[in-house]
Chain A
Amino acid sequence: MLKYVIKRVIISAVTLLTIIVVLFVMLQFMPGSPFNNERLTDVQRASLEAKYGLDKPLWRQFVIYVKNILTGDFGVSYSIQANYPVSSLIANKFQISIQLGLQAGIIGILLGVALGAVSALFHNGFIDSLTTVVSMIGASVPSQVLALGLVYVAAYKLGLFPLVYKPDMPISSTALATISLAIFPMAIAARFTRNEMLEVMSSQYITFAEAKGVPRWRVICIHAMKNTLVPLITTLSPIVIGLMTGSMVIENIFSIPGIGKLFIMGITSNDYNVVLSLSFIFSAMFIGIMLVTDLLYGVIDPRIRLNGGAK
């Protein structure tokens, strides 16, 4: 197990380093420099470059860049909040995004697993058909379409929720955003759970458990659920990516001051440091979730945990 963990951690670190290199190289390809003001004299420009370390050789710049990133220093913002550290800018917005993502992810996955399991257990029944339709819609309708619909009906027409985010009511003003974001993970989890559960329930070890006289709830909860949930972990990565990309649009629709909204603002206002930092953070989160997924898989499935020890 330890060997496996070390191997996976090293692979993740290498991937992250590669991403940093790519980001750094892309930065070099950007036209111009941060000091494009024509009124600057050569001396002033040189002193500015010296101040920000841009006069140093490229490899030195890279080492400093990596060192800074790893210590959480992402440079300063140029236009959103001039000279304000990007790390603080992100930190301020991070919490609300995480809250939204967790709400949507947890609700979506729990609902999805429940729906999927029920529809598998009552295969070809009414709930099964309903789940199939709902998950099809959920997986194919973009979250922003749903969000706009929800805003129109629930917030504008019925007035049940605030139209935009209000810091003093963090739950009810993120409710619609949460629902819009939760549909995708729910659809994925429901579809996956249903198929997996159907396969598991028809397998020989379930018959064996029944032949042993294991009560049905126990067969489902212990024998079938574990075997269903292990492969479900593989859907965690697409779900998290879905939540991350979804949040960029959803946060804008609901004016939620999270990192998704910050990202879009950074792009539209050419605030390079913000865009680069968020690209890096998103990549790191994605690599992190893949690492966690793989390790979780190992914890739950003994065949993987032993890393080919005995097959």
Chain B
Amino acid sequence: MQVDSGTILNIQKLSVAFQTTSGELNAVRGVDLTLRRGETLAIVGESGSGKSVTAKAVMGLRDSNQIIKAGEILYDLDGQVTDLLKLTKKQMISQVNGRRISMIFQDPTTALNPLLTIGYQLTEGLRIHRKMSRKAAWERGVELLDEVGITQPRQCMKRYPHHLSGGMRQRVVIAAAISCDPEIIICDEPTTALDVTIQAKILELIKTLQKKMNIAIIYITHDLGVVAKVADRVAVMYAGKIVERGTAYEIFFEPRHPYTWGLLLSMPDINAADTRLYSIPGSPPNLLHKVTGDAFAVRNEYALNIDYEEEPPVFKLSGTHEVASWLAHPDAPAIQIPELLRRQIEAKISHGDEQ
């Protein structure tokens, strides 16, 4: 069970599959994750790596063809450690969603109901979970809008989503997410659909609110730029598994998994001499089929023979840093981090571009 008191969410060996017409698709294949109070954990990976499915499982937002194959999600519910996967959807909605764990969505233009006012959608949680009167909830809503940086919050309450810009809508979604003082917020690509200029402001806002309210945040993203700005700890997901995890420093400056190298190399670097942007060759495996060995082996130029036969175990590199790659095995040939990436990291360190 939960070991130290700081842990508020503990995902153990979560496996999720989807029943499709062409068979069972194993989207998440044994994920372990812990989240500590007030920290920011980023889950990074390509589309289809299972990061969103993992996060949605925490909220009990399951598609009808989704099957939880194994695992548990332990969460402290009123002093009692509960497996969220064992709760019914109804229990999740009345006890967990919005109240203790809330979510910020990728596209604020579709996350708000076009036919309901901002005020209604914002105060709904307060009225349901906090049993506030319409009027009290409304006043609190105005405060919340003010808190997320919306000017003229009173007028905004009466408006409909289509009156607002994308950035403002995302602020409303954030306000709704924090309305009931949740302990955890899951941010599913919260800035992907926004203008670059707005992105930084939204990230800053989430960060400020997080500090103020001591909220733990799970960021789901493929944008390493976002991760670098916000994350305390990072988990890199590939083909439904976590292949490397560590502190943000460890992932950005001491990456060990070839996939993490690839991800870091495919980040645009303003100082790069090479004008061509790196991309990882190949494409992720089809999870409808059983994966033998390391799922990343076929795309990995450093793959060892064993990678095609046996799945790599998790090697502990430090108290916080873990990697699932045979390259970390003591008997493995000493393969160095790619030259280009090493130079980039050194450049960053010398620029003082640390967290």
Contacts and interface: CB of A to CB of B under 8 A. Distances in A.
Q: Do A and B come from one complex?
A: yes
Interface in B89-130: 89-90, 93-94, 96-99, 102-103, 105, 107, 110-116, 124-125, 128-129
A211 interface: yes
Contacts of A310: 162-163
Contact of A303 (B98, B99, B128, B162): B162
A214 B128 contact: yes
Interface stretch (A5-13, A167-175, A200-208): A200-208
Contacts of A223: 113, 116
Contacts of A204: 105, 107, 110-111
B160 interface: yes
A210 B116 contact: no
A166 interface: no
B162 A215 contact: no
Given A208-B173, A303-B160, A215 B94 contact: yes
Contacts of A230: 115
A212 B128 CA distance: 9
B160 A212 contact: no
A294 B59 CA distance: 40
B162 A311 contact: yes
B297 interface: no
B169 to A, nearest CB: 11
Contacts of A207: 61, 105, 111
Contact of B124 (A214, A226, A227): A214
A215 B129 CA distance: 10
B113 A212 contact: no
A203 B99 CA distance: 22
Contact of B125 (A123, A203, A212): A212
A215 B112 contact: no
Interface in A207-244: 207-216, 218, 222-223, 226-227, 230
B90 A216 contact: yes
A184 B292 CA distance: 57
A212 B110 contact: no
Which of the four size classes fits the interface of chain B?
20 to 34
Given A211-B59, A216-B90, A303 B114 contact: yes
Interface string B52-95: 00000001010010000000000000000000000001100110
Nearest to A311: B162
B137 interface: no
Contacts of B173: 208
A230 B160 CA distance: 16
Given A204-B110, A208-B173, A213 B99 contact: yes
A213 B93 contact: yes
Contacts of B110: 203-205
Contact of A210 (B97, B160, B163): B97
Given A204-B107, A204-B111, A207-B61, A213 B116 contact: no
A190 to B, nearest CB: 21
A212 B102 contact: yes
Nearest to B107: A204
Contacts of B124: 209, 212, 214
B176 interface: yes
A199 interface: no
B287 to A, nearest CB: 22
B61 A212 contact: no
A209 B115 CA distance: 13
Interface string B114-150: 1110000000110011000000000000000000000
Nearest to A204: B110
A302 interface: yes
A55 interface: no
Most chain B beta carbons < 10 A, residue from A211, A226, A301, A311: A211
B150 to A, nearest CB: 16
A300 interface: yes
Contacts of A302: 114-115, 160, 162
Contacts of B99: 213
Nearest to A229: B115
A230 B162 CA distance: 16
Contacts of B64: 123
A223 B116 CA distance: 8
A168 to B, nearest CB: 47
Given A204-B110, A216-B93, A303-B162, A211 B102 contact: yes
Contact of B105 (A123, A208, A222): A208
Interface string A277-305: 00000000000000000000000111100
A210 B61 contact: yes
Interface in B162-198: 162-163, 173, 176, 180
Given A204-B107, A208-B111, A226-B116, A215 B102 contact: no
B111 A227 contact: no
Contacts of A227: 113-115
B113 A205 contact: yes
Given A204-B105, A215-B128, A210 B93 contact: yes
Given A213-B96, A311-B162, A301 B115 contact: yes
Nearest to B122: A212
A126 B111 CA distance: 31
Nearest to B115: A226
Given A208-B111, A211-B103, 19 more contacts: A204-B111, A205-B114, A207-B111, A208-B105, A210-B61, A211-B59, A211-B97, A211-B98, A211-B105, A212-B125, A212-B128, A213-B96, A215-B94, A218-B128, A223-B116, A227-B113, A227-B114, A310-B162, A311-B162
Interface of A: 123, 203-205, 207-216, 218, 222-223, 226-227, 230, 300-303, 310-311
25 contacts: A123-B64, A204-B110, A207-B61, A208-B173, A210-B93, A210-B97, A212-B125, A213-B94, A213-B96, A213-B97, A213-B99, A213-B125, A214-B93, A215-B94, A215-B128, A216-B90, A218-B128, A223-B116, A226-B116, A300-B115, A301-B115, A302-B115, A302-B162, A303-B160, A303-B162
